Amino acid sequence: MIKPALMSTFAALGVASCCILPMTLMIFGVGGSWMAVFARTAAWAPLFIAVAASMTALAWGIAWRRHQVRRLIPTLAILTAMTLLAWGIWANEMAINDLLISWM
């Protein structure tokens, strides 16, 4: 059986690949036509983020039921932060794009 924390990790990595990674690369000036690869995943961003959020919530719930929250707090906190960051980026994508363009 796959552990929920492991499933949340993969969901968070999916979120990072469609939302956080392209923004980070643009901030550091890494760009070009190859960035269009990420455009395909942009349409699926809300679904990736929703799956990541539900898996992270499931992982927190299972850790709570098994009384392992104290041991898993660092991992679950990082996953929760990545998911919240992805929601924030997705919700404010236009403002972030405008800001990055103004920096050019």
Distance of CA 15 to the CA centre of its chain: 3
pLDDT of residue 71: 86
What whole-number distance in Å separates Cα of residue 24 and Cα of residue 6? 24
pLDDT of residue 15: 65
Q: How many domains, in total, are found in the chain?
A: 1
pLDDT of residue 34: 64
pLDDT of residue 50: 87
pLDDT of residue 37: 67
What's the chain's length in residues?
A: 104
Continuous segment of H or E residues that includes residue 103: helix 93-103
pLDDT of residue 45: 79
Domain span at residue 42?
4-103
Q: What stretches in the chain show pLDDT beneath 50?
A: 1
pTM, full prediction: 0.62
